[in-house]
Amino acid sequence: MSEAATCPRCGAPFLCGARDARCDCFDLELGAALRERVGREFAGCLCLACLKELGACPRIDARAGDALSADRSR
């Protein structure tokens, strides 16, 4: 069953389905480097909007740490 959660990146409330048999985030294609960085930088799951935003970044590596920060000023 999905759990109420707060995204540690942007602070938005969301329903985390990572423990369910099916979650929307399962369909996202995130590279191994990005998954590793997200796991290191954040405790818990990120909301789908943040995961999609990060997945759209052309490259996440050691020099691209700023991309992991949520910039909601746009």
Q: What is the pLDDT of residue 64?
A: 47
Please give the torsion angle defined by the CA atoms of residues 50, 54, 56 and 57, in that order, rounded to the nearest 10 degrees.
150
Q: What is the pLDDT of residue 11?
A: 96
Tens-digit pLDDT profile for residues 16-68: 988 888 888 888 888 888 889 899 999 989 999 999 999 887 655 544 455 56
Whether the pLDDT of residue 74 is over 60: the answer is: no
Q: What is the pLDDT of residue 59?
A: 59
The pTM assigned to this predicted structure is 0.72
Cβ density class 4-15: b for 16+ within 10 Å, e for less: ebebbbbeeebe
